Structure 1
Amino acid sequence: MNLRKLAFLMAASSPLLASSASAAGDNPSGTSSVTVVVSALASTKSAVKLYFYNVRDKFLQHGGYAFMRVIQPGGQQQITLPINLPNGEWAVAITQDTNNNDKLDKNFVGIPTEPYAFSNNVRPKLAAPDFNECKFVVNGPGKVVNIVLKK
């Protein structure tokens, strides 16, 4: 998957939540508290979008996320999102819409020109990362996922 596809997929997201179906093998009644902390925001006023994935084959696919959250930083350089997730493997992709046009802007070759990041602080060079690079395991309370936004 290349960065052009990544940019398209993130730009085409809907503000509505997708279904929150759990990945195969997850115990739907087993959830854990997770705190996602995103730091080094490019803007203290622009929306930050967090896309949560729990199906390996749907990672960064159009509409493939389990759900999405939009957070306003409220003048802060960092956001914190406490959330309950079904136990299992998860990955997060993040964008910040610095010009508030409700899409991820990109250059003529499809590389994002607005900040983005992935869980595990994966920094793709020539292609979008895969699920295995970005995944983290949710299996008990107190998990903290720290992500630094790439400017």
Structure 2
Amino acid sequence: MIVSTRAFLFAAGSLLAAAPASAGNPAGTSSITVVVSALASTQSVVKLYFYNLRDQFLKPQGYVFKKAVLPAGQNQITLPVDLPNGEWAVAITQDMNNNDKLDKNFVGIPTEPFAFSNNVRPTLAPPDFNECKFTVSGPRVVTIKLTK
């Protein structure tokens, strides 16, 4: 289901604001801003999948939560989220045909734009959590460029 950016950001803030933010507190949360640039379309939904467990990375339903954002005519999106402190990785797709899945060719290579945190560019296999992880321990900006 596609929602407006404003409604989405409101819902995201409401869901993630339940835990108090406290910089430097290992048990707390931190404000993170995810910026995704070089979008292939200014109209197609961008999906961000947030992972914090190595053994669940890129597995179906292995993400902690996902967010869907409409670019609203922009070639980049900015998504503020509060994350529990610790190690996180983000996988991103842009659903060009709005069929609610990442389309792939006959050998399993994505035919729709995708990206990973740390701007990891996989060659022959999907990346590992360790390649994509970043540490959340205070406010920060995570910038990711979409691969077309």
Task: For residue 46 of structure 1, give the secondary structure of its aligned residue in structure 2.
Answer: coil
Alignment partner of 1:144 out of 136, 141, 146 = 141
Distance in 2, matches of 1:79 and 1:66, equals 21
Task: For residue 97 of structure 2, give the secondary structure of its aligned residue in structure 1.
Answer: coil
- 1:57 deviates by 0.8
Aligned residue in 1 for 2:30: 32
- 1:99 deviates by 1.3
Worse-matched range after superposition: 105-114 or 27-36: 27-36
Task: For residue 70 of structure 1, give the secondary structure of its aligned residue in structure 2.
Answer: strand
- 1:29 deviates by 4.5
Q: What is the RMSD of the two structures over their aligned residues, measured on CA atoms?
A: 1.6
Aligned residue in 1 for 2:7: none
Moved over 6 A (4+): none
Asked whether the equivalents of residues 26 and 137 of structure 2 are also in contact (C-alpha less than 8 Å), the reply is no
**Given the alignment of the two structures, is residue 76 of structure 1 paired with residue 87 of structure 2, yes or no?**
no
| TM-score (norm: length of structure 1) | 0.80
Asked whether the equivalents of residues 26 and 86 of structure 2 are also in contact (C-alpha less than 8 Å), the reply is no
Distance in 1, matches of 2:99 and 2:142, equals 27
Distance in 1, matches of 2:86 and 2:62, equals 17
Distance in 2, matches of 1:101 and 1:127, equals 24
Unaligned residue ranges in structure 1 (runs of 5+): 1-19, 21-26
Task: Give identity over the alignment, percent.
Answer: 76
Distance in 2, matches of 1:137 and 1:63, equals 22
Alignment partner of 2:114 out of 116, 120, 132 = 116
Alignment partner of 1:100 out of 92, 98, 101 = 98
Distance in 1, matches of 2:55 and 2:99, equals 29
- 1:91 deviates by 0.1
Alignment partner of 2:89 out of 88, 91, 104 = 91
Note the 1:124-135 alignment, pairs <5 A.
124-135=122-133
- 1:28 deviates by 7.8
Unaligned residue ranges in structure 2 (runs of 5+): 1-15, 17-24
Distance in 1, matches of 2:103 and 2:85, equals 33
